[in-house]
Every structure is written in C-alpha cells, then in structure tokens.
Amino acid sequence: MRGLAKKTALVTGAAGGIGRAVAARLADEGVRVIAADRDHSATQEVVTGLSSPAIAVELDVAERASWERMIAQLPAEFAEISIFANIAGINRDRSLMKMQDEEWDSVINVNLRGSWLGCQTALRQVAEHGKGGAIINIASTAIFGTYGQANYSASKAGITGLTRTAAIEGARHNIRVNAIAPGVISTPMVMAVPDDIRAKWTDQILAGRFGDPEEIAAVVAFLASEDASYITGQTLVADGGATTGDF
Ligand code: NAI
C-alpha cells in the first residue's frame, strides 16, 4: 500500500491475536514496528519473526507514566512515529445487574482511557515532528449493544467519539484518525466463549465464519496508508456482514 515503507508504527496490544497480525502486516509493508504490550515476554517473541526492523516495548496503555516512560526510552531510530495503532483491549463480561465496579472500571480504563492516552501521545508526537500521521483505534460491533457487555460496549462506543474528536483536532497537524469496528474475530478473546454461543454467532454472519486477525490487519494497513488519504474521523465496520448487532 502506498506511503507505508520506511514509516515507524507503534502497535499496542501487539502480543494479542489482532495486534500480532497488525505488527506482521505493517512489517510486511516495510514499516518499522514498535510492538507494545503489557505482556513483554510475548511481545519480544512477536518481534523476532517480523520482516522489518522491530522492537518490543513494555506498556500499560491505561497508565500515563507508562506511556511517558515508553516514549522517553525509544531508541533514536524508532523515535519518529507516524502510525499509531491502538489495538490493546480487554473484556470482563457480566450482565449489567450483576456487574462489579472492578469489571466496569478495568474495561473502561484499558479500552477507553488507554485509547485516549494513545491518541494524546500520537497527536503530541506528530505535532512535534510535523510530518503528519495516522491513528487507528479499535472499536467493535459491540458499540450497537451486546448482552453482558455494558462495560465493553460503552468503552468501544466511547472510542468512536474519541476518534471523531481526535480527527477534528488532528487535522491541523495532518494526522488522520479512524477506528475499525471488527465483528467476531478468531482470537483467544473470542475462542474462550462457549461453543454453543460461538455457533449461534456464526449463523448470524453473512460470510458464514468468524474473521481472521489478518483481515483486520489489512484494514489497519489500508487506513494507515496514503491509499486512505481522504478518510478521517470514521469508524469502519469489518464484520463479515453481521445480520444482528447482538454480539
Ligand atoms: P487479545 O486478548 O488476543 O489481545 C489483547 C492484547 O492487549 C493482549 O496481548 C494483552 O496483553 C494486551 N493488553 C491488555 N491490556 C493491556 C494494557 N493495559 N496495556 C497494554 N496491553 C494490554 O484480544 P484481540 O482479540 O486481539 O483484541 C484486540 C482488540 O480488538 C481489542 O481492543 C478488542 O477489544 C478488539 N476487538 C476484538 C474482537 C474479536 O473478536 N477478537 C472484536 C472486536 C474488537
């Protein structure tokens, strides 16, 4: 895709199913990758297999001090970041009536606060180097509401508003900001769901299957590239044609 080669990308959640695929796809496009995750040993393993120069860094996206430490410690050859893929996310599912404070707070903290800190870091970095860039946030089709996911759904819906505002504020720095709302993607997060529920979900997808992490990574690469130069402030649904929002 156009305009990606030799750029530097920060990918959060890079040890997870989708983040790992994003790191690999961007590396295949010639992008230098900073693979960030709180699971540092897994991220170190991810970068060893990449096809472009890459480093693993430890990051807790919900902690401002962790972002500041990570940026301050970047080696010079990775310091000029222009692509920010905010992939890290968690779920703690329980019906709204039974949900505990910790389940609400942790999901809002990692998903929404983490994406906010990611966008803020990105805007500051790009404003400093002045060469423009792209942010890709990860929402979910849970933005339409899903049983047992009040915390997750609210965090992901929040990300769509954050994305729009970051696009408005980022435009003057030539930074495009978009989100992807994946449907059900085959990663550990989803494969932990009971078999009968996964079978029900599959019936509701026009593609007749769950998505692969590589299919979301392709959308990330597109939105990061100059091929998407006229797209900003959007949330792009990639769900194989789901016939209900009840995921
Ligand atoms: P995953 O569980 O495989 O990977 C998530 C990664 O985020 C893990 O490596 C984990 O260590 C990391 N992480 C969690 N909390 C963190 C923190 N505080 N700081 C830094 N890293 C942290 O999940 P998956 O499936 O790859 O999901 C990636 C993103 O895609 C998430 O935002 C998720 O909500 C979103 N998503 C996933 C869908 C799916 O069907 N798998 C559907 C829609 C959205």
Each residue's pLDDT tens digit, 98-148: 999 999 999 999 999 999 999 999 999 999 999 999 999 999 999 999 999
pTM exceeding the 0.85 threshold for the entire prediction = yes
Please identify, by atom number, the ligand 1 atom nearest to the C-alpha of residue 210: 40
209, with CB counted inside 10 A (0-12, 13-18, 19+), is: exposed
The CB of 182 under 6 Å from ligand 1? The reply is yes
pLDDT tens profile 209-247: 999 999 999 999 999 999 999 999 999 999 999 986 554
Pocket test for ligand 1, best of 189, 201, 214, 215 (most atoms within 8 A of CB): 189
Give me the phi and psi of 205, to 5 degrees please: -115, 125
Place of tokens 């897994």: 42
Give the bridge partners for 134, in sequence order: 83, 176
Q: What is the DSSP letter of 142?
A: G
Tell me if 62 CB under 6 Å of ligand 1. yes
